Amino acid sequence: MIEEKPRISGEMTGEGGTAVPAALYLFPVPLSDSSKIGDVLPPANAELLRGIRHFLVENVRSARRFIKRVDPSIDVNLMTFTVLDEHTRPEEVESMLEPLQNGEPMGVISEAGCPAVADPGADAVAVAQRRGLKVVPLVGPSSILMALMGSGFNGQSFAFNGYLPIEAPKRAAKLREMENRIRRERQTQIFIETPYRNNKLIAELSRSLPGQLRLCVASDITGKGERIVTRPLSQWAKANYDYGKVPTIFLLFN
């Protein structure tokens, strides 16, 4: 049987981390450079960061910057950073968890948002799970979840689809499938696009889907320019907008 332990130790010293229980801690990272840490992360995350030495990171430079942003007094030179990104082969991940296997806590840090959700990290979690090692997800900003909250769409049933296919026939088929799932299953459909194609995508959706379907465009979530706007596609077709440079989440519903 699995032993029950407190999730986050109540006795952290903040002085080197021997008090942080061994586990793979998943650290969410602010979505926007303009957001204050206290707006988007619970204080416990900083406390845990101070007690962990070994990190799997999507990008070393941005991980260091994140840690410095959370607490400038942390000496990042005492930490080890191993890159875990979309180029990492699954078999490489096995050995990355050695410190945890030896009883030391480890952290996973992606570039923005929640590790393992639309971001690398899931492979490391899967290896930890396979070996029976403890995994602890931490609270933080998720653009997908916050976009869903702000959309007004069905939160009882929803799907995140990642990027739409690029090839025209596959893309059209995907749009039809999403439309069907909205109608038949009342399932909110969530997807993303590379920012420079955001405006084109909105125009395309307005053209190719029924005008009464509602599109929510949630951009720069938690940032200074946060805008979460839900309108029928027929209104988007006539609207002025420019989402060309900001990370944006798209949601469709009836």
**170-209 positions binding a copy of itself, by CB under 8 A:** 187
Binding a copy of itself (rule: CB under 8 A), the pick from 118, 182, 205, 213 is: 118
Instruction: Give me 201's structure tokens.
Output: 């995508």
Q: Does 230 engage in binding with a copy of itself (CB under 8 A)?
A: yes
Binding a copy of itself (rule: CB under 8 A), the pick from 17, 20, 26, 106 is: 26
Q: Does 117 engage in binding with a copy of itself (CB under 8 A)?
A: yes
Q: Does 114 engage in binding with a copy of itself (CB under 8 A)?
A: yes
Binding a copy of itself (rule: CB under 8 A), the pick from 109, 182, 215, 216 is: 216
Binding a copy of itself (rule: CB under 8 A), the pick from 59, 88, 101, 154 is: 154
Give residues with Cβ within 8 angstroms of 39, minimum separation 6.
Answer: 222
CA distance 241 to 244: 9
The interface region with a copy of itself, picked from 14-22, 73-81, 97-105, 136-144 by CB under 8 A, is 136-144
CB atoms within 10 A of CB 4: 6
Strands in 135-137's sheet, in edge-to-edge order, are 80-83, 54-57, 106-109, 24-27, 135-137
CA distance 78 to 95: 20
Q: Does 129 engage in binding with a copy of itself (CB under 8 A)?
A: yes
Q: How far is the CB of 157 from a copy of itself (least distance, A)?
A: 5
Q: Which of the 8 DSSP states describes residue 113?
A: B
Q: Which is nearer to a copy of itself, 63 or 217 (CB)?
A: 217
Binding a copy of itself (rule: CB under 8 A), the pick from 94, 229, 234, 237 is: 229
Q: Does 29 engage in binding with a copy of itself (CB under 8 A)?
A: no
The interface region with a copy of itself, picked from 11-19, 51-59, 148-156, 205-213 by CB under 8 A, is 148-156
User: How are the residues of the chain apportioned to helix, strand and coil, as percentages rounded to the nearest 5?
Assistant: 35, 20, 45
Q: How far is the CB of 73 from a copy of itself (least distance, A)?
A: 18
Contact 98, 18 (CB under 8 A): no
Binding a copy of itself (rule: CB under 8 A), the pick from 153, 201, 236, 248 is: 153
Binding a copy of itself (rule: CB under 8 A), the pick from 44, 172, 173, 203 is: 44
CA distance 145 to 195: 19
> Which of 119, 185, 111, 192 is closest to 153 using CA atoms?
185
Q: Which is nearer to a copy of itself, 52 or 146 (CB)?
A: 146
252: exposed, middle or buried (C-beta count within 10 Å: 0-12, 13-18, 19+)? buried
Binding a copy of itself (rule: CB under 8 A), the pick from 16, 90, 155, 244 is: 155
Binding a copy of itself (rule: CB under 8 A), the pick from 151, 198, 206, 248 is: 151
CA distance 215 to 234: 10
